[in-house]
Amino acid sequence: MKKAIIIGASSGIGKGISLELLSQNYKLAISARRKDRLDEIKKINPKNVLVYEFDSATEQNNTLLDSMINDLNGVDMIIYCSGIGIINKELDYLKDKKVNNLNIAGFTQVVTYAFNYFIKKGGGHIVNISSVASEIGNGLATSYNASKAYQANYLQGLRFKAFRMKVPIFLTDVRPGFVDTDILMGNKDKLFWVAPLDKACKQIIIAIERKRKIIYITKRWKLISLLIKILPERIIRLFF
């Protein structure tokens, strides 16, 4: 039986991935702060779901992962889905810090732990949900886009490291555009190409199965990525 850890599984993409993997008979260890939401997932298959109430913005993700791996008796894949975005027009440092604590510090703790664990184990799969936002700055939510750039760059660095060390550790960087989850804060109708959650999660699962390096969700967002790369900043700045 395959085993996976999903950090940030209480809603949105993390929950959707958890449900998909459960339907594929994975055994899961899932975490987030809202335990009641995690318990709802456990109810679907109590034997195959272990629940951990945890705030990943703390410096203690190693203790969480120690417990999860111990209780699962080993793990094949670790997925980081926790993430927040805050509009910060006034450049309030405390808002940026909140974003950075989860999207940078929490992320780094989880993926470094995962990488070192999989080196010892002889292989494994690390998945992170970054964003198309990783490829461009944002004047309204500067730390969000910058934190996603950090994640994407960090994962690429780990891919290079795995290659150099000749260990079969696969690293999948998932870059969604817009997906219909709580993070959109009710602005769905003002946005474009918003993917239904189940469609997004199905595409993510296929990318994971194929051990893809970078995947755009949905696929059409690759076009936006291309435009970001080729358009001059004097045009791009009108949108961000």
Ligand X SMILES: NC(=O)c1ccc[n+]([C@@H]2O[C@H](COP(=O)([O-])OP(=O)(O)OC[C@H]3O[C@@H](n4cnc5c(N)ncnc54)[C@H](OP(=O)(O)O)[C@@H]3O)[C@@H](O)[C@H]2O)c1
- List residues binding ligand X (CB under 6 A): 8-14, 32-34, 37, 55-57, 81-85, 102, 129, 131, 176, 178-179, 181-184
In angstroms, what is the minimal distance from the CB of 67 to ligand X?
Answer: 15
Of 163 and 239, CB closest to ligand X: 239
CB 206 within 8 A of CB 215: no
Helix (H) or strand (E) holding 3: strand 3-7
DSSP-derived secondary structure for 68-110: HHHHHTS-SEEEE--------TT--HHHHHHHHIIIIIIHHHH
Of 167 and 197, CB closest to ligand X: 197
Alpha-carbon span 45 to 56, nearest angstrom: 24
Return phi, psi of residue 134, to 5°: -65, -15
Alpha-carbon span 161 to 163, nearest angstrom: 5
- Strand 27-32 with 3-7, pairing: parallel
Of 168 and 214, CB closest to ligand X: 214
In angstroms, what is the minimal distance from the CB of 164 to ligand X?
Answer: 28
Of 170 and 178, CB closest to ligand X: 178
Of 182 and 189, CB closest to ligand X: 182
In angstroms, what is the minimal distance from the CB of 47 to ligand X?
Answer: 22
In angstroms, what is the minimal distance from the CB of 87 to ligand X?
Answer: 13
In angstroms, what is the minimal distance from the CB of 234 to ligand X?
Answer: 25
CB atoms within 10 A of CB 42: 18
